[in-house]
Amino acid sequence: MKSLLNIFSKKEVCLLHTNLQGAHVEKYHAFMDFLNHNNNALKLIADMEQIFYSGTPFSLPFMKVKYRKLLESSNGVIASLHTPSGNYF
């Protein structure tokens, strides 16, 4: 039983993620930003599509706000591609 409890002890700690500096960390954060912006853009597109196809009335200012948020998310997607690609996109 004691050997089973030793499996969950903190005596041996994995040191693989201790290097928090370098190009790989910067690319990882850029990729996570890309995923977050992409997720937000897809949610906004789905919201706008649902509003359109549901037949419920909507106002122009409401759609303008959704459009601006979609534009910000799209620009965020593009900006987050600059880091891992070396400003290729």
Q: What is the pLDDT, as a whole number, of residue 85?
A: 72
Q: What is the pLDDT, as a whole number, of residue 45?
A: 96
Residue 1 has pLDDT above 70, yes or no: no
pTM score of the predicted model: 0.69
Structural contact between residues 32 and 81, judged by C-beta atoms closer than 8 angstroms = no
Q: What is the pLDDT, as a whole number, of residue 16?
A: 58
pLDDT tens, residue by residue, 38-88: 999 999 999 999 998 998 888 999 999 999 999 999 999 998 888 777 776
* Residue 43 DSSP label: H
Q: What is the pLDDT, as a whole number, of residue 32?
A: 93
- Cα dist from 82 to 20, 32, 41, 73, 77, whole Å: 20, 13, 18, 15, 9
Q: Where are the domains of the chain?
A: 37-89
What DSSP string describes 49-62? Answer: HHHHHH-----HHH
Higher-confidence position of 21 and 14: 21
62-70 long-range contacts, CB within 8 A, separation 24+: 69/40, 69/44, 70/41, 70/44, 70/45
Residue 17 has pLDDT above 60, yes or no: no
- Cα dist from 30 to 24, 61, 65, whole Å: 10, 32, 26
Q: What is the pLDDT, as a whole number, of residue 56?
A: 86
